[in-house]
Amino acid sequence: MHRAVKVSSLESRLRNLYLNRRVQAKAPFLSPNVWIRGNKPLSEELLYDGRPVYGGLDLSARTDLSALVMAVDDDNGNVHLFPRIWTPGDTLDERGLRDRAPYRVWADRGFLIPVPGQVLDYDFLAADVGELSSKILFGKMNYDRWRIDILKQSFARMGVLVPLSPFGQGYKSMSPAIEIFEELAVRGKISHGGHPVLRWCISNAVIDSDAAGNRKLIKAKSFGRIDAAVMAVAACRLQTESEPDLDALVA
């Protein structure tokens, strides 16, 4: 019960089970007072010192945000999150107005990577991931299957080898991933450095619950790419049944 006070997505379940009140199945993900606990400095050297780095890859339609979030443990059991978020550069301003988000400011400050053109060039994404993989030891990179085949083709053309692993977006896979993410966040064991795009995505994230209390993230908004962070933490901290995608290792 104490945890539900801190985690927005558990509050409705608490009200239903303990107070016998009718509630909506959908609820916000993390409250701002929980997320702010991770507003601590990041240690970028963790990415390059030879320890395994885990990823969550969440692609969008070619006119919105796509993200790779990298998760790595420090020596004190904290998970540091490093996002790479791409979006078409030629439509930043008009989409910023549409989504009520300061895309241009974030891009100018290096929190958002504007890809040349009006749509995402997946070869650009593949080259960026390939550059990262030449310096970083990736342990496993969980991905949402949406549009992944297009990126795999770019990886193959460019000879990029990364240990991709499919990650289901339903209750079975997402519920334990959300639980470990929440647990770490509540304990202040996730460090994100106050990344403004991640904070915005968290504020837009919505959780859906089934009758058994299992939960998953809802892609209600195409720009809310928090799935990548949850999948990255799952790759880092959870033992899952999914096997590495061997096709992705063959260039």
Whether residue 212 lies inside any domain: the answer is: no
Report the pLDDT value the prediction gives residue 1, as an integer from 0 to 100: 47
Whether residue 68 lies inside any domain: the answer is: yes
d(CA 119, CA 137): 30
Instruction: For residue 201, give the amino acid letter.
Output: C
pTM score, whole prediction: 0.85
Q: Are 223 and 203 within 8 A, CB to CB?
A: no
Report the pLDDT value the prediction gives residue 11, as an integer from 0 to 100: 47
d(CA 171, CA 71): 22
What's the number of domains the chain is made of?
Answer: 1
User: Which residue stretches of the chain have pLDDT < 50?
Assistant: 1-5, 9-11, 14-20, 22-24, 241-251
Q: Are 144 and 231 within 8 A, CB to CB?
A: yes
Residue 142 is part of a domain; what is its CATH number? 3.30.420.240
Report the pLDDT value the prediction gives residue 111, as an integer from 0 to 100: 97
Whether residue 5 lies inside any domain: the answer is: no
Whether residue 7 lies inside any domain: the answer is: no
Q: Could you tell me the maximum CA-CA distance found in the chain, to the nearest angstrom?
A: 57
Q: Residue 79: give the domain boundaries.
A: 34-205+221-249
Report the pLDDT value the prediction gives residue 221, as an integer from 0 to 100: 54
Look up residue 247 and give its DSSP letter.
G
Whether residue 101 lies inside any domain: the answer is: yes
Whether residue 15 lies inside any domain: the answer is: no
Whether residue 20 lies inside any domain: the answer is: no
Report how far apart the first and last C-alpha atoms of the chain are (Å, whole number): 50
Collapsing DSSP to helix, strand or coil, 93 comes out as helix
